[in-house]
């Protein structure tokens, strides 16, 4: 696979090491990537995530102002990402689509595997390549698994996807098209199996492996690019609303804006709003209770991509540091937001509409500037399509029926 | 819906009128758009398409060199498109993904409805708005219909989709999400019903309505943007290989390069290669027989999106004028190309792989420069997903089976 060379303007990665999100004075070298959170600051009850640190004083002038030679791909932002050892697929560079006056939709379905996860997996697979692994293993048969499978294929790595028994055939076909091996097992067997595959095969885990969510140390850095893109097109919005599962997207987007502020390129950071299904809401619960992360009981929701019973500290940091908030949205609210987006020409996965649903719930009080709602993936990703009923056949000679259907 | 204003650099449309593709001296005013081909040059056996002409002497300097303020959307190319009366969805700006040394894939699945059709439907729906129609009608339940439905919704127009009885529920859900009314009728009833809806409701037709294909006069102009993007990123490739149904994409991309040549910005035009399913091939037949357009018998093919029994003159012009060729690819060849693309991290619809399949069939003899294969849409668009079998469930305690599946 041909790797796309770093742009001469952008240059190489300025990543210097890893550090604990729980205590930023706790530092580690850049390699190997810590895929199970911080071993020093984590406790019995809270696993603290790790993030990547950079030589910010060396950021090239013009990184955010020079027009890119290649308009798509993480290469443009290489200095502020971990090393891009894996070849890209032209990820990112997604459009801001106007919904209302001052309300923008960042449409992540325009990515290589039609979800925002491509931004994280260019980075996780790069970590796997850098760590010398022959393959990756991922415990997600949804957007994350498919994206990881695509980047693994492009990098020439093996990919094992640990899925659930109920994975629909279309989703299975999606994963296997990239050459992934799909192992459907019961829910309780997923983590033990993932760990065993890591131990026995040396495959690099790109899913969370800790009791409260930590995720991959490098991966969420990929989400910063979303912030960089918004910044170069729109400046700093008043607020960003994001569908929230584990909070990696929320954290990455916040961190991108926080870096711009620290670099003196932006005069503020947007308020970050997590939008979780009201059937769960571990981040809202953690913020409410003033704790770093927690587990909650979860009821039924069709927003399967963000239905998390356990949260992580990343989301707490993003909301707290930005002066944002944690919103809970019902399935009915997400459904209404999805319908609103579709009427505007954007057909989104139900979970993807949680961002707009959160904004509609909160309203625009005390927001002095544009608002961005991130829409994470395409309507094709929803699981209820297979049970949908089609339109009833029509007798073309029955003009009264034709008129009735058209006039609605 | 908020319309995105034309960029100050780009300016307004320079379209001056319409003219026959059969005889460029036969001219018409720009309005109304001729949706049934040229009424003057068309004969009993051949319907000639109409194209749009422009005041090329007024093209703004810097149109192809100035970095766009908004990186996505037809607005960037407004001077060389018909008037953009309908609001956009950030169409185009899709990436060139490297496949091999000197072989690039233009991934059109990154568009608003995940196919190249978005480039044409921003333009057809703009025509409908400009013509004062309250709605559009389209005889396609595939990529074209869904794209038209999305742009109609965004523009506040009604949309009627005339489909076939076998439309899968997922496809129907896709169309209706945008508010389209779907009318499934037998194949032979489609055109008469479309014409009757045009007459009775005044809806603007955005599908072909003539015996040999002419299509919408304005629509295919939208495909020129594909050429402009390739040119600004890569220059003029040696050849472009495109999945070919009616030939509108092929024509539009050729015309874009032909304009760049006529404007003195490019020193040549790429060889254009149509890639049709070997089960049909009306364009290959017309070129072989030296006639403007023809109908051929069609056998079975899973490449449903480009399975056409009838061709149009647009494709003949593109291949002839560029010194290209007409290739036929079997389902097996398209399947092999699709697998090659998926191993590179791009999961495409079977029809979308026809471009690469054509290049693999022809080889790179006498091609002195990079080659671009256009990939038109995502694997989600294929119809065989619903009948696919999933991966067999696994007993996680059966480690021998785990190893067997992973080692392949």
| Domain extents in chain B | 15-71, 96-113+217-381, 117-205
Rounded (10°) CA dihedral B213, B218, B219, B225: 130
CB contact at 8 A, A244 and A276: yes
Q: Which residues have a Cβ under 8 Å from the Cβ of B34 and sit 6 or more positions away?
A: B18, B28, B50, B217
Please report the ipTM that was assigned to this predicted complex.
Answer: 0.95
Chain A residues within 8 A of B402 when measuring between CB atoms: 183, 193, 196-197
**φ, ψ for residue A221 (rounded to 5)?**
-60, -30
Chain A residues within 8 A of B169 when measuring between CB atoms: 385-390
Residue among A9, A138, A345 with most chain B CBs within 10 A, to mutate: A345
Specify the residue for token string 């760990």. Answer: A195
| Helix (H) / strand (E) containing B18 | strand B15-20
Q: From the CA of B106, how many Å to the nearest CA of chain A?
A: 10
Chain A residues within 8 A of B71 when measuring between CB atoms: 71, 93, 95, 233
| Helix (H) / strand (E) containing B145 | helix B143-155
Predicted confidence at residue A10, as pLDDT, reads 67
Specify the residue for token string 């039924």. Answer: A300
Predicted confidence at residue B231, as pLDDT, reads 96
Specify the CATH architecture of the domain A117-205. Answer: 3-Layer(aba) Sandwich (3.40)
Specify the CATH architecture of the domain A96-113+217-381. Answer: 3-Layer(aba) Sandwich (3.40)
* H-assigned helices in A140-189: 143-155, 169-177
What's the rounded mean pLDDT across residues A112-119?
98
For residue B293, CA distances in Å to A67, A94, B30, B289, B298 come to 44, 39, 25, 9, 15
Chain B residues within 8 A of A95 when measuring between CB atoms: 70-73, 89-90, 93
8 Å CB contact of A167 and B390: yes
Rounded (10°) CA dihedral A268, A326, A139, B174: -90
User: Who among A154, A378, A388 is closest to B169 (CB)?
Assistant: A388
For B407, other C-beta atoms within 10 Å of its C-beta total 9
Residue among B88, B95, B337, B392 with most chain A CBs within 10 A, to mutate: B95
What does the DSSP assignment read for B214-275?
A: ---SSGGGGGHHHHHHHHHHH-S-SEEEEE-SSSHHHHHHHHHHHHHHHTTS-S--PEEEEE
Per-residue tens of pLDDT for chain B, all 408 residues:
333 344 444 689 999 999 999 999 999 999 999 999 999 999 988 999 999 999 999 999 899 987 776 779 999 999 999 999 999 999 999 999 999 999 999 999 999 999 999 999 999 999 999 999 999 999 998 999 999 999 999 999 999 999 988 788 888 889 999 999 999 999 889 989 999 999 999 999 999 988 888 999 999 999 999 999 999 999 999 999 999 999 999 999 999 999 999 999 999 999 999 999 999 999 999 999 999 999 999 999 999 999 999 999 999 999 999 999 999 999 999 999 999 999 999 999 999 999 999 999 999 999 999 999 999 999 998 877 666 677 888 888 898 999 999 988
8 Å CB contact of B347 and A168: no
8 Å CB contact of B394 and A96: no
For residue B117, CA distances in Å to A253, B81, B399 come to 31, 15, 47
Distance separating alpha carbons of residues A369 and A247, to the nearest angstrom: 24
Compute the count of residue pairs across chains A and B with CB atoms less than 8 Å apart.
Answer: 240
Burial of A126 from C-beta contacts in 10 A (0-12 / 13-18 / 19+): buried
Quote the longest CA-to-CA distance of chain B. Answer: 76
What's the rounded mean pLDDT across residues A91-120?
97
8 Å CB contact of B97 and A109: no
């Amino acid at each position: 696979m041909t790797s796309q060379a770093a742009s001469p303007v952008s240059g190489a990665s300025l990543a210097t090491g890893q550090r604990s999100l729980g205590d930023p004075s706790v530092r580690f070298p850049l390699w190997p990537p810590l895929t199970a959170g911080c071993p020093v600051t984590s406790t019995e009850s809270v696993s603290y995530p790790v993030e990547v640190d950079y030589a910010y004083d060396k950021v090239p002038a013009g990184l955010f102002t020079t027009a890119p030679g290649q308009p798509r791909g993480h290469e443009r932002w290489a200095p502020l990402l971990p090393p891009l050892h894996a070849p890209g697929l032209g990820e990112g560079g997604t459009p801001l689509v106007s919904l209302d006056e001052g309300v923008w939709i960042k449409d992540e379905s325009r990515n290589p595997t039609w979800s925002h996860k491509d931004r994280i997996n260019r980075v996780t697979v790069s970590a796997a390549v850098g760590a010398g692994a022959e393959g990756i293993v991922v415990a997600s048969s949804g957007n994350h698994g498919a994206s990881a499978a695509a980047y693994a294929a492009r990098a020439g790595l093996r990919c094992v996807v640990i899925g659930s028994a109920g994975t629909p055939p279309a989703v299975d076909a999606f994963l296997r098209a990239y050459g992934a091996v799909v192992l459907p097992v019961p829910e309780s067997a997923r983590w033990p199996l993932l760990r065993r595959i890591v131990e026995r095969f040396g495959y690099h885990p790109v899913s969370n492996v800790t009791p409260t969510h930590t995720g991959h140390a490098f991966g969420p850095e990929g989400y910063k690019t979303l912030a960089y893109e918004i910044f170069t097109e729109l400046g700093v919005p008043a607020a960003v609303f994001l569908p929230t599962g584990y909070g990696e997207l929320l954290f990455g987007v916040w961190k991108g804006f926080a870096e711009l502020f620290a670099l003196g390129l932006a005069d503020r950071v947007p308020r970050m709003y997590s939008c979780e299904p009201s059937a769960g809401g571990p981040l809202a619960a953690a913020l409410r209770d003033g704790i770093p992360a927690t587990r909650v009981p979860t009821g039924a929701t069709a927003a399967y991509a963000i239905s998390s019973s356990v949260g992580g500290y990343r989301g707490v940091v993003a909301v707290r540091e930005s002066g944002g908030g944690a919103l809970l949205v019902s399935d009915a609210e997400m459904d209404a937001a999805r319908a609103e987006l579709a009427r505007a020409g954007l057909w989104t996965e139900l979970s993807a509409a949680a961002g707009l649903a959160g904004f509609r719930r909160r309203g625009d009080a005390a927001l002095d500037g544009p608002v961005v709602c991130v829409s994470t993936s395409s309507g094709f990703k929803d699981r209820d399509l297979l049970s949908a009923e089609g339109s009833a056949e029509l007798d073309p000679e029955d003009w009264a029926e034709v008129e009735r259907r058209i006039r609605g």
